Amino acid sequence: MHDMITLKALSSDKDVGTSTFLASTPGENRKGDWVQQDWRLSAFRSNPVILDSHNRARVVGRALSVKVPKVGEHAGNLLLDVEWDLNSPDPSVANVGSQHLRGFRGAVSVGFVPGKRTPRDKLSEDHEAFAPKRKVKTFFGEIEVSAGFLLEKNELYEVSSVAIPADPRALQINAAEAGGDFDILNAVLTALRENPAYRLSFAEALGLDTPRPPALRLLGDGLDFLYSTSEADNG
């Protein structure tokens, strides 16, 4: 069992990690929608939460900056810098950032409210987002369905770490460790999950009322949220 000095890996101010993402890009996503990059960002900038798989009860980081650059390599894409909550007393929260920094996660998904929806088959044929209706075979025969929507003037509410994003291009483009030994961090997280005596020591060190860390919750792979009926669309 690790000694109590190892707990500093979870509480030290030096253990800060940041990642940069293309959080949203123009082009067709896995739902068939086209998300225009004319974002409304004021609400998100005032509360820049990074969630785990669109679960509002699990804040795993915060955005340090968000923008759609007009020039440069990533011009025309939603660019996001994230600081992970590696100091969380909940090891499952800290582990999300740790996985991004160690290369085990690499994608994000945006939660937003569209300002304008236009069926893509209703656009002019010379529009970059135009797509004709698609024929789909069903039990009742072949039917035509919309190719998806052009979503414009979208108001960003949150960004989530996910395993599989709706936008296949919404990926991490770098990760930088500002100090911290993530091999030690991972060993601590493993010990917390597997060793009841160590959980007790960890809880006592933090002054918690319970020796048990919050229960881990299986949230799916991110695709659970592609057709959410909540107030925000997840792209």
Write out the H or E segment, with its range, that includes residue 136.
strand 134-138
Select from 68, 100, 106, 67 the least CA-distant residue to 83: 100
Please report the pLDDT score of residue 231 as a whole number.
44
Task: Write out residues in the chain with pLDDT < 70, as ranges.
Answer: 1-16, 175-235
Beta strands across the sheet bearing 55-67: 172-178, 16-24, 78-84, 55-67, 49-52, 155-162, 107-113, 233-234
Domain ranges (residues) in the chain: 4-115+153-181, 119-148
Please report the pLDDT score of residue 6 as a whole number.
27
Please report the pLDDT score of residue 197 as a whole number.
57
Please report the pLDDT score of residue 233 as a whole number.
57
Residue 36 one-letter amino acid: Q
The Cα 113–Cα 154 span in angstroms is 6
Residue 120 one-letter amino acid: R
Q: What confidence tens digit (pLDDT) does each residue in 85-95 have?
A: 999 999 999 99
Angle (nearest 5°) at CA 51 between 81 and 218 = 135
Burial class (CB in 10 A: 0-12, 13-18, 19+), 200: middle
Report the largest interatomic distance among the alpha carbons of the chain, rounded to a whole angstrom.
66
Please report the pLDDT score of residue 110 as a whole number.
98
State both tokens at 135: 């024929």
Q: What confidence tens digit (pLDDT) does each residue in 146-199 have?
A: 889 999 999 999 999 999 999 999 999 975 443 344 444 455 555 555 665 555
Please report the pLDDT score of residue 196 as a whole number.
57
Torsion of Cα atoms, 204 then 208 then 210 then 214, to 10°: -120
State both tokens at 14: 């030096």
The Cα 117–Cα 31 span in angstroms is 14
